[in-house]
Amino acid sequence: MSGARAARVLAQAKVNLFLRVLAREDSGYHQIETLFCRLELADVVTVRVGGSARTLSCDGPAMPPGGLGPSERNLAHRAAAAYAAVAGWPDGFEIAVEKHIPVGGGLGGGSADAGAVLRALNALAPRPQPHARLLEIAVELGADVPFLTSESPLALAWGRGERMLALPPLPARDVLLHCFPFGVNTADAYRWLDESRAGRAYAPTPALLGADSLSSWDAVSRLARNDFETAVGLRHLEIAEALVELDSMKESVGATPHAGAPPLLLARMSGSGSTVFLVYDAGVTTIEDWDVPGVRLVRTRTASRVEEVEMIE
């Protein structure tokens, strides 16, 4: 039984190393197949329990000028309320989020905060919920939340994100995030994708993936794709142009003739956008000098582990 009253969690961002969107169901939802990979970039989430009030505060360098909207609609607050409804505890909570993950860019910042809250509350709870029950709460909050509630740095997910296969982490690699000053609404991205497929005899089916196809960066790079990229890129040309530029850079570095040249591994858009990311080996000096006017570049690394919940006073 936990006697602690507060916990802190690093809520790590994610990228989708590949993302396939399957056919739209009659319910309006789409099944997906994706390879989630956590990053070292993280929000700092602190959860304190006690009293009867339920509050959320957010600050930090990645906070948008207009804020994040009403607290009750924030995923972190909703996660705490959902946990309380299931567990019958706590009556009150105080959540503080220090934002470092760019908002609305497909990096799962809100979902990571929600997953961090669920993990923190479960660590603090007098009667913790089984992990499977925690994931059931998570899936009701969004497709990214189950992975970002799990303790896996890398996982293959399908369905609506609730079905996952944890995988050994790939060797840590540097990541450059190309963060635009706008986000892409996920519902819009799905609608644009459906419109692009309308009138075509297109019935995407699940892929058959062997274990060796996800065991190395070289193997994963051959699978890398994101079904949203074309439809979203038609509405946001900056995204399409960035992908072309990064792919061109990837090819030029990959063609470096001298032995031992570090490769650029893959360049993709994460989730439904807008962030475009590049995974590369340390030593690619051209990346360190790269700059794009009007775009925030964030350098981080893929994560080899999920940070543990820290009990605090």
Check if the beta carbon of residue 193 is closer than 8 Å to that of residue 231: yes
pLDDT tens per residue across span 38-72: 999 999 999 999 999 999 999 999 998 888 888 89
Instruction: Output the domain CATH number for residue 188.
Output: 3.30.70.890
Q: Residue 20 — left, alpha, or beta (φ > 0 → left; ψ -120 to 50 → alpha)?
A: beta
Coil, strand or helix at 307: coil
Averaged over 251-275, what is the pLDDT? 70
Residue 131 shares a structural domain with residue 207: no
**CATH number of the domain within which 69 lies:** 3.30.230.10
Catalytic member of 14, 43, 113, 250: 14
Asked whether residue 310 is domain-assigned, the answer is no
Is 212 part of the annotated catalytic residue set? Answer: no
Answer whether residue 80 shows pLDDT above 60. yes
Spatial separation of the C-alpha atoms in residues 107 and 25, rounded to whole Å: 25
Catalytic residue among 43, 144, 174, 227: 144
Q: Please confirm, yes or no, whether 250 is among the known catalytic residues.
A: no
Q: Number of helices (H) and strands (E), helices first, in the chain? A: 9, 11
Give the structural domain span for 48.
6-168
- The pair of three-digit structure tokens given for residue 24, joined into one six-digit string: 């739209």
Is residue 252 domain-shared with residue 275, that is, in the same domain?
yes
The answer as to whether 235 is a domain residue is yes
The count of domains in the chain is 2
- Measured at the CA of 229, the angle between CA 287 and CA 138, to 5 degrees, comes to 95
CA distances from 266 to 62, 138, 199, 272 (A): 25, 29, 31, 17
Q: Are residues 117 and 215 in the same domain?
A: no
Burial of 125 from C-beta contacts in 10 A (0-12 / 13-18 / 19+)? middle
Which is it for the CA torsion 178, 69, 134, 205, positive or negative? Answer: negative
Which tokens in the block code for residue 128? 């913790």
- Residues 186, 163, single domain; the answer is no
If we measure between CA atoms, which residue out of 133, 90, 95 comes closest to residue 114?
95
Is 66 among the domain residues? Answer: yes
Residue that finishes a domain, picked among 168, 200, 215: 168
Q: Are residues 72 and 95 in the same domain?
A: yes
pTM: 0.90
Distance CA 266, CA 221 (A): 6
The answer to whether the CB of 148 falls within 8 A of the CB of 111 is: yes
Classify residue 25 by its DSSP letter: P
313 inside domain: no
135 and 192 inside one domain: no
List pLDDT tens digits, range 130-188: 999 999 999 999 989 999 999 999 999 988 777 899 999 999 999 999 999 999 999 99
In terms of domains, do 162 and 14 share one? yes
CA distances from 167 to 18, 112, 206, 225 (A): 15, 19, 19, 19
Residue 309 placed within a domain: no
Q: For residue range 178-224, what is the model confidence (pLDDT) as tens digits?
A: 999 999 999 999 999 999 888 665 556 666 566 677 888 988 988 88
Q: For residue 262, is pLDDT > 80?
A: no
Residues in a beta bridge with 156: 35, 165
Q: Are residues 152 and 252 in the same domain?
A: no
At which of 123, 151, 168 does a domain end? 168
Whether residue 311 lies inside any domain: the answer is no
Q: Of 124, 144, 168, which residue constitutes the final position of a domain?
A: 168
52 & 196 share domain: no
pLDDT (0 to 100) of residue 208: 56
